Amino acid sequence: MKGPGAGFFQVLQAALKELPFVAENLGVITPAVEAIREQFGFPGMSLLQFAFGNDPQGPTFRPHNYSRELVAYTGGHDNDTTVGWWTSSGVGESTRTAEDIRKERDFTRAYLNFENEPINWVFPRTVLASVAATAIIPLQDVLGLGSEARMNLPGTISGNWKWRYKPQVLTRELSERLRRLTLLYDR
């Protein structure tokens, strides 16, 4: 169903002045939707997990192609955690073959220039170092959690949005590591 379009946002802008929105422009987005996003200066989204596979849009998700007017994520609420994505075999949960996964991992290592550093710290470092105005790192990635901590599995009707963290897992060591990265990349 067609939405209200630019008129809706004009009314909001008149009332609020600045519109604090991020436009989820992932997947198939029409030119009309992109025009509204650009008209109102809504930042788009980029998920680093999408940068390395067979998707023809993959290059747009690579940090060297980011624009300043972007919100960069390691992954999103509809994706596996970064550790879950990295360790996935693809069997039963994906359309990726074992060969696709091998190529994706090889390309990821080459592009991000790492060998054995934990992927849940490689990805945050990458989005924090990017030119994107905003970088978001899901807590599951900070904690290095796998698929068991996935937030949502699109197309399923149960088991979603139940993951919760326990306060004691936010350690001083994690805090210090995030602090160093934040300061290093002027965030």
pLDDT of residue 76: 93
pLDDT of residue 108: 98
100 vs 185: CA distance, rounded Å: 32
Dihedral (C-alpha) 164, 168, 172, 178: value to the nearest 10 degrees? Answer: 0
pLDDT of residue 11: 96
pLDDT of residue 93: 65
123 vs 136: CA distance, rounded Å: 11
C-beta atoms surrounding 138 within 10 Å: 23
pLDDT of residue 3: 82
Under-50 pLDDT residues of the chain: none
pLDDT of residue 41: 93
Closest CA to 26 of 45, 9, 13: 45
